Structure 1
Amino acid sequence: MIKVITYGTYDLFHYGHQRLLERAKALGDYLIVGVTADDFDKNRGKINVQQSLMERIESVRATGLADEIIIEEYEGQKIDDIKRYDIDIFTVGSDWVGEFDYLNEYCDVVYLERTEGVSSTDIRSKDRQVTLGLVGEGLILNKFYNESQYVNGLAVGGICSGDENQLKDFDDDLILTRDFDELIDNVEAIFIVSHPSKHYKQAKKALEKGVHVLCESPIALKEEELCELFKLAKKNNLILMDSIKTAYSTAYNRLLLLAKKGKIG
């Protein structure tokens, strides 16, 4: 009997998942499917999974393709599972080509072509898309614009800068303006990276217009102004928060762990 094993998160189970499991099943006689645990996903920096572990397991079970379902809970478990279940073939989607070649020491590794045009990431982004505006000057504005392109569920809709020449650095399909009111009239949230002296007035105006605010430190220069802004955000049921520091990022902590293990750095 040929035993096959594959792993995945299977969040928002879709046709692409179904096809991948069908092809994995066709590789052998017995298919084991590993579903990643919630904590394991978070430790890997995958923090936007929408469904619980049990929901994702039930989605896999409902296909009738898995002869056995297990939970992936820690790094290095794949080797342990291959040995424990006497696996002949490990398989995963082609977007991971080369990533698991080290498993060839324990079994055959097969990369299956993914179904084009569908992914859980795209589905999450479509359902939870937020239109963000950026306001500020200098290289930091370009930096945050470039980084925003890699955030799921986020689309930069406009940029406001007092430097007219800087606006020429950005795509023409964005709202490019020197008028802050024009920006907040066309976005759901703003990221304030302007001079600290402007933070309070810009944040207040955005909150009054019903726009969520993420702001570089400090949000305000006076304690009473900060308290006023948080009261206004609470009153209008809006988010107001200091920009997220890398030190609090799950992915950053993951990188630190890998560095301590000597795998990188």
Structure 2
Amino acid sequence: MSKRVITFGTFDVFHVGHVNILERCASLGHTLIVGVSSDKLNFNKKQRYPIYKENDRLKIVQSMSFVDEVFFEESLEKKREYIEFFKADILAMGDDWKGKFDEFSDICEVVYFPRTPSISTTEIIEIVKSI
């Protein structure tokens, strides 16, 4: 049976850490579905808009050869709906979210991957701002 894997993220200022996590997610199954946080959702979470607009971030993620489907995540509260709608067998996330999505283990397997050391979008943005 082929597994459908779903993951979520902002994917702003796309970097190797994003590639690594998406590759790891893709390795878990046959189909990788990615929810890209909308600009509005990102503002609600972080009180700032992403550097790259949502359509650009979606296009970047969509261009990855191992990504099969991409959609805009409009609300954190709709994770269960997204998992069910896309018939995901596995929810995979970075371990900065460890334990936060265990509630979905009743409908799918939940996997957390370690983040790529020494790289984060927030850190990159701060470095660029200080130059």
TM-score over 0.5 for the pair: yes
Shift in Å, 1:76: 1.8
Higher RCO (C-alpha under 8 Å, 6+ residues apart): 2
Correspondence 1:46-61 to 2 at 5 A? 46-61=47-62
User: Secondary structure of 1:82's partner?
Assistant: helix
Partner of 2:114: 113
2-structure distance, mates of 1:118, 1:8:
15
Unaligned runs of 5+ in 2: none
Shift in Å, 1:108: 0.5
Alpha-carbon displacement from aligned partner over 1:155-204 (angstroms, at most 9, x marks no partner): xxxxxxxxxxxxxxxxxxxxxxxxxxxxxxxxxxxxxxxxxxxxxxxxxx
Q: 1:21 to 1:127 in 2, by over 3 A?
A: same
Alpha-carbon displacement from aligned partner over 1:3-48 (angstroms, at most 9, x marks no partner): 0000000000000000000000000000000000001111123415
Correspondence 1:23-172 to 2 at 5 A? 23-129=24-130
User: Secondary structure of 1:76's partner?
Assistant: helix
1-structure distance, mates of 2:74, 2:49:
17
2-structure distance, mates of 1:90, 1:97:
12
Unaligned runs of 5+ in 1: 131-265
Tell me the matched-pair count: 130
2-structure distance, mates of 1:44, 1:16:
20
Give the TM-score normalised by the residue count of structure 1. Answer: 0.48
Whichever of the two has the greater Rg, that structure is: 1
Partner of 2:5: 4
Runs of 4+ off more than 4 Å? none
Report % sequence identity.
36
User: Secondary structure of 2:46's partner?
Assistant: coil
Alpha-carbon displacement from aligned partner over 1:204-248 (angstroms, at most 9, x marks no partner): xxxxxxxxxxxxxxxxxxxxxxxxxxxxxxxxxxxxxxxxxxxxx
What root-mean-square deviation, in Å, do the aligned CA atoms of Structure 1 and Structure 2 show? 1.3
Q: 1:64 to 1:52 in 2, by over 3 A?
A: same
Give the TM-score normalised by the residue count of structure 2. Answer: 0.94
